[in-house]
Structure 1
Amino acid sequence: MSVIAGIGWHMVGAASAAAFYAPYKKVQGWSWELMWSIGGVFSWVLMPWLVTMMLVPNLGEFYSHIPNSTFAMLIFCGAMWGIGNITYGLTMRYLGMSMGIGIAIGLNLAVGTLLPPFLKGQLGALIESAGGSLTMIGIAVALVGIAVVAYAGNEKEKVMGERAEEFNLKKGIILAIICGIFSAGFAFGLNAAGPIKAQSEALGINYLYVAMPAYGFIMGGGAIVNFLFCAYNILHKKEISVRHDLTLGRSLLARNLLFTAMGGIMWYLQFFFYGWGEASVPARLDYINWMLHMSCYVLFGGIIGLIMAEWKGVGTRPVRILIAGLLVIIGAANIVGLGMAQ
């Protein structure tokens, strides 16, 4: 296990998460619900089970050693994560991108990082240890960095004249709180996947992949929530017509399918490499994985935004603030790394 490798793999996964929506932007003529559902088939169903089948030769025998309560908890945590996905989009709708990201991601990072050790009764001991105190400082610094990035985004929105579709501060904050708590469901799911990880180790699966056989159940819980949400919209919104979307020209259908598949696979890959990062971090510091993932997600989101010229024409001040926030997040990752090394 290597602290540097763990941080590196979390960065790779976060970069994939930050860039996954780029292929979706190439989709033409499809409703968001159809695009999201088809992409979800790849990210939440096909990829996790394909990887699991490659790792486990006999699925029935493998899972027969796992308590049913573990499966139920994984699906429940995945459903939590699915609710977080949906409310994340709604948070952007009512608060705008900058404020929504600042509140939702900040809460997500704090809840997903601190709640698991708190529930285990380990938080006090972690804070009192030398390494633990450093990682807690790193978490605080990361939250500051996210707040600075959110402020930069707010300045950008002012310059560009952008505004949330239906700005509603009260509704947006409530949704952001729900999103921040529920999106951490994936971290809770991995925390509850101990029996599956142990069975993977007993089977001789490489330590980088021990969490992968749990993904199908966690993501399956999220898939159920997302598919139901999309189905509800398709059935109740008259402007959405799946029949029309699927009668586009053959070449456009093939193009849309290709881009949705790419986006879905990139979304899955964030958790594939998250698994590598988690496996590389010492077990005594497993609570820090979610912090690394979410802070790197904001970091690469900002970098990709700069690369794709999303900040073009906003002036130097918002860009300077953004870069300052990104540097703070990089500093937070280094502080956490120092804490992990002790």
Structure 2
Amino acid sequence: MNAVFGVLFHFIGGFASGSFYVPYKKVKGWSWESMWILGGLFSWIIVPPIAAWLTIPDFVNIIRLASYSTLSYTFIFGLLWGIGGLTYGLGVRYLGVSLGSSIILGLSMVFGSLMPSIYYFFNETAGKHGIDYFFINQSGICILIGLLICVIGVCLCGQAGISKEKDLTSLSTETKSDYNFGLGIVVAIISGVLSACFNFGIESGKPLADVANEIWKTNHPNHGEFLYQNNVTYIIILWGGFTTNFIWCVYLLFKNNTFSDYTKADAPKGKNLLLCALAGTTWYLQFFFYGMGESRLGNGASSWILHMAFIILISNAWGVVLKEWKGVNKKTYRSIIAGIVTIIISICVVGFARTLEN
């Protein structure tokens, strides 16, 4: 049952992440930097401590008593991930929700799932798998197969994006919107690699989660692992992410003179604020449920792969719903559908791998 609930929690988290950008697309009269930093305040500063306070009453002391190395490494990975998260927004802007998310999160999935195992191969740690696990263990081999299948699905989505660019050359400027495959793919690669640093931050901040887990298990014996143990770790990671995004967005607000967005008479300020708050809160929920899934499956490659795969799946589904593929030919449309189906298959394979281990 742990595997079933773990997959379910990752699905909910993936749905939240794959859906968070949709409210941003409804914001009117504001620049990208105006809405991104406002939504980020909810994602990184306001909601995480509230979630920790509701689930881990002693979280402030856990942070205060943590070692300097734990906090610093967790924060640094948060900074790097912040660059990935920052460029994620740009990647989605230039490539669309479905294609942008597919490429960025596909790269993040590969790097985030395999890089920690390479580290643990050379630095053996109890409860952690080295890279050899994926070649000598039945469950590990199945996880690797699922990862490869998902990469194929991402490639199909990428091929659909290339075809989409060709199809859109005959459409109006309004229909093309901000779509720019050349610029978008460069941004997406940078974002995909650095976005994997969130998983590294979770690994670095694991001592914080372990303390929260032990406190809970002491007060609730024989109840298994603490579902919300990672909520304290997220606070430090997201401080790092906020720092990066805040600096860049303030720079853009000055450079583009877009501070005035918040006082525009023709902009629906109340509605825009609510949409940004909804987007930011929805974004945070992805990791709230990721932590719940991780507590059931473990913070290994399978958790990260499932999380990324569900996000790619949901974001592509939104791309179809939002008609981002409107105007493309049937071959292009079949390619994106094939990519979605392939990713669904990869999710099933990784989920099955966990049953082999358990």
TM-score computed with the length of structure 1 as normaliser: 0.89
Identical-residue share of aligned pairs (%): 35
Contact 1:99 1:154 in 2 (8 A): no
Q: 1:337 Cα shift?
A: 1.4
TM-score computed with the length of structure 2 as normaliser: 0.85
Q: 1:165 Cα shift?
A: 6.0
Contact 1:75 1:218 in 2 (8 A): yes
1:241 aligns with 2:241: no
Contact 2:98 2:312 in 1 (8 A): no
How do residues 204-243 of structure 1 correspond to structure 2 at under 5 angstroms?
A: 204=216, 207-237=226-256, 240-242=257-259
Measured against aligned partners, the alpha-carbon deviations of 1:246-299 in whole angstroms (never above 9, x if no partner) come to 223599221111111011111111111111111121x3x722211111121111
Moved more, 123-132 or 88-97: 88-97
Measured against aligned partners, the alpha-carbon deviations of 1:232-253 in whole angstroms (never above 9, x if no partner) come to 111222xx331x2222359922
Contact 1:65 1:199 in 2 (8 A): no
Out of 178, 190, 213, the residue aligned to residue 201 of structure 1 is 213
Measured against aligned partners, the alpha-carbon deviations of 1:123-181 in whole angstroms (never above 9, x if no partner) come to 11332101100110110000001111221232233223349766657x954x4443222
1:143 aligns with 2:165: no
Q: 1:28 Cα shift?
A: 1.7
Aligned residue identity for 1:231: V
Contact 1:41 1:264 in 2 (8 A): yes
Measured against aligned partners, the alpha-carbon deviations of 1:189-220 in whole angstroms (never above 9, x if no partner) come to 11122211111112217621011111111011
CA distance in 2, matches of 1:93, 1:34: 14
Out of 261, 285, 288, the residue aligned to residue 272 of structure 1 is 288
The match for 2:139 is 131
The match for 1:33 is 33
CA distance in 2, matches of 1:334, 1:278: 17
Measured against aligned partners, the alpha-carbon deviations of 1:88-144 in whole angstroms (never above 9, x if no partner) come to 345567778787555433321110000001101011133210110011011000000
Secondary structure, counterpart of 1:311 in structure 2: coil
Secondary structure, counterpart of 2:132 in structure 1: helix
**1:44–1:60 CA distance, 2 compared to 1 (3 A):** closer
Contact 2:21 2:97 in 1 (8 A): no
**1:148–1:168 CA distance, 2 compared to 1 (3 A):** closer
1:325 aligns with 2:333: no
Aligned residue identity for 2:200: F
CA distance in 1, matches of 2:96, 2:320: 18
The match for 2:351 is 337
Aligned residue identity for 2:157: V
Out of 275, 284, 292, the residue aligned to residue 259 of structure 1 is 275
**1:44–1:23 CA distance, 2 compared to 1 (3 A):** same
CA distance in 1, matches of 2:45, 2:101: 27
Question: What 5-or-longer segments of structure 2 have no aligned partner?
Answer: 122-129, 170-175, 218-224
Contact 1:98 1:150 in 2 (8 A): no
CA distance in 2, matches of 1:157, 1:300: 22
**1:100–1:250 CA distance, 2 compared to 1 (3 A):** closer
CA distance in 2, matches of 1:96, 1:248: 27
Moved more, 16-25 or 217-226: 16-25
Equivalenced residues, count: 335
The match for 1:289 is 303
CA distance in 2, matches of 1:302, 1:338: 23
How do residues 167-186 of structure 1 correspond to structure 2 at under 5 angstroms?
A: 168=182, 172-173=185-186, 175-186=187-198
Question: What 5-or-longer segments of structure 1 have no aligned partner?
Answer: none
Contact 1:78 1:220 in 2 (8 A): yes
Contact 1:101 1:150 in 2 (8 A): no
**1:307–1:3 CA distance, 2 compared to 1 (3 A):** same
Q: 1:313 Cα shift?
A: 3.5
**1:315–1:103 CA distance, 2 compared to 1 (3 A):** closer
Contact 2:98 2:315 in 1 (8 A): no
Contact 1:37 1:227 in 2 (8 A): yes
Contact 2:98 2:316 in 1 (8 A): no
Q: 1:304 Cα shift?
A: 1.4
CA distance in 2, matches of 1:294, 1:207: 22
CA distance in 2, matches of 1:165, 1:306: 16
Contact 1:96 1:167 in 2 (8 A): no
**1:124–1:207 CA distance, 2 compared to 1 (3 A):** same
CA distance in 1, matches of 2:6, 2:216: 21
How do residues 184-195 of structure 1 correspond to structure 2 at under 5 angstroms?
A: 184-195=196-207
CA distance in 2, matches of 1:96, 1:199: 41
